[in-house]
Structure 1
Amino acid sequence: MAEVAYYTKEGLEKLKEELQQLKTEGRAQIARAIAEARDKGDLSENAEYDAAKEAQGHHETKIAKMEELLANARLLDESKIDSSKVLALSKVKIRNVKNGATMSYQLVSESEADLKSGKISVSSPIAKGLLGKKVGETAEIAVPAGKMEFEILEISR
Structure 2
Amino acid sequence: MEKIPMTPKGFKALDDELKNLKVVERPAIIKAIAEAREHGDLSENAEYHSAKEKQSFIEGRIKEIEGMIGLAQVIDPSKLSGPIKFGATVKLVDEDTEEEKTYQIVGEQEADIHNGLLNIASPLARALIGKEEGDSVEVKTPGGAKDYEILEIKYA
TM-score, normalisation: structure 1: 0.89
1:7 aligns with 6
For residue 83 of structure 2, the aligned residue among 62, 85, 88 is 85
Query: Cα RMSD (Å) of the superposition?
Result: 1.6
Provide structure 2 residue ranges, at least 5 long, that are not aligned to the other structure: none
User: Does structure 1 retain, via aligned residues, the 8 Å contact 2:136–2:148?
Assistant: yes
C-alpha displacement of 1:64 = 0.3
Distance 1:110 1:135 in 2: 24
C-alpha displacement of 1:118 = 2.3
C-alpha displacement of 1:53 = 1.3
Correspondences of 1:92-103 after superposition (within 5 Å): 92-103=90-101
Tell me the amino acid that sits aligned with residue 110 of structure 1: E
Distance 2:90 2:59 in 1: 38
Residue aligned with 1:50, SS = helix
Distance 2:39 2:13 in 1: 38
**How many residues were matched structurally?**
155
2:34 is the alignment partner of 1:21: no
TM-score, normalisation: structure 2: 0.90
Distance 1:71 1:62 in 2: 14
Tell me the amino acid that sits aligned with residue 15 of structure 1: L
CA deviations 1:63-117 (Å, max 9, x no partner) are 1001001111111132432x32110100111111112222221111122223344
2:115 is the alignment partner of 1:142: no
User: Does structure 2 retain, via aligned residues, the 8 Å contact 1:97–1:151?
Assistant: yes
Correspondences of 1:6-155 after superposition (within 5 Å): 6-81=5-80, 83-155=81-153
User: Does structure 2 retain, via aligned residues, the 8 Å contact 1:84–1:135?
Assistant: no
User: Does structure 2 retain, via aligned residues, the 8 Å contact 1:90–1:107?
Assistant: yes
Residue aligned with 2:9, SS = helix
Identical pairs, percent: 41
User: Does structure 1 retain, via aligned residues, the 8 Å contact 2:90–2:103?
Assistant: yes
Distance 1:112 1:15 in 2: 9
Provide structure 1 residue ranges, at least 5 long, that are not aligned to the other structure: none
